[in-house]
Amino acid sequence: MERELILPVKDSNYDKKKLENEIETMKKLLPYIESFNTFIANNDIFDIRNHKLVTRSNRIRNAFEEGLDSTTKYYVFCKN
């Protein structure tokens, strides 16, 4: 499933840098907005320390609830 993000901009003084910052902010927020089941269906979680894919649901849930910024142990890869 491919995702598209539409950012309606009302302010005429938005420049390219402000738009890029807004897009990066939305990329960080999207994993927290979607449900856990959607997160599992759309992503693979790789444990960088153990060099393997995480398959246990409790470890995946911990990564989902902690978010991407609080840990460098996991990398999340979109399956799309």
The arithmetic mean of pLDDT across residues 28-43, rounded, is: 75
Q: Residue 72's pLDDT is what?
A: 61
In order, the DSSP letters of the chain are: -----------TT--HHHHHHHHHHHHHHHHHHS-HHHHHHHEEEEETTTTEE---HHHHHHHHHH-SSS-SSEEEEE--
Q: Residue 1's pLDDT is what?
A: 40
Mean of all residue pLDDT scores within the chain? 76
pLDDT digits (tens, 9 = 90+) for 54-64: 888 888 887 77
Query: What global pTM score does this model have?
Result: 0.49
Q: Residue 66's pLDDT is what?
A: 74
